Amino acid sequence: MPVQFQGRTIREVKLNSDPKATAQGGPAKPIALTFDDGPWPNTTPEVLNVLKKNHVKATFFIVGKQVQKYPQLMKQVVGEGHAIGNHTWSHQYHHYNNPAAAHEIDRTADLVYKTTGVKTSLFRPPAGILNNGLATYAHEKKYAVVMWSVDTKDWRSQRTTAQGWIDNILKQAKPGGIVLLHDGGGDRSKTVQALPQLIAQLKKRGYQFVTVPELLEMGDKKPKASKG
């Protein structure tokens, strides 16, 4: 975790402006796909299959109780080379005092480590809520609180066509961006169906897919981040 992101809230990453970084092989238009609320039966393996076929690495913000239910899926995510972020144990929208926030985040971190051997410094609060105690605790523990710059709203994708949904994403996409998607939390079949087309459209526009940790490594020393 680059020091400039520790204990910060991030919505996108201002890229290193040094032209040598690109000349040395770094992607000119990096973007990070992130998936929330898993691991989830059926959907997570389907998402992983699409990513594998398209040679894309992503970042999964996982819910502790789902890891407890589906440890093999958690191992598969890590085994296929994707990055992991902490998305609390229970995915509730309560207000948390410090001990309760610690329980939600630390319990999840401990189980992820026990299951996969992975330690993560990434945290995403459920629903992106930053003022209910969870993000405050995460900041104290030097997590990077990772929000997003592109909200796919795929949790309500049944209200629009796949192409309309993708067109909206493409309008918001930019280098250094972080795309919010979901592999869990409900029926995400439309996300799975639209994902290959989304990847193809972004590739056509010159984007290259990276994990959030990789994106942070490409960040300028003065990132577009905040404490709140």
CB-count exposure of residue 29 (10 Å: 0-12, 13-18, 19+): middle
Out of 36, 37, 154, 183, which one is annotated catalytic?
A: 36
The alpha carbon torsion through 197, 200, 201, 203 (nearest 10 deg) reads 160
154 is an active site residue? no
Residues contacting residue 198 through CB under 8 Å, at least 6 positions apart: 166, 169
Omega prior to 39 cis, within 30 of 0: yes
82, 91, 139, 182: which one is catalytic?
182
The neighbouring-strand residues paired with 122 are 144
182 is catalytic: yes
Q: Which residues are catalytic?
A: 36, 182
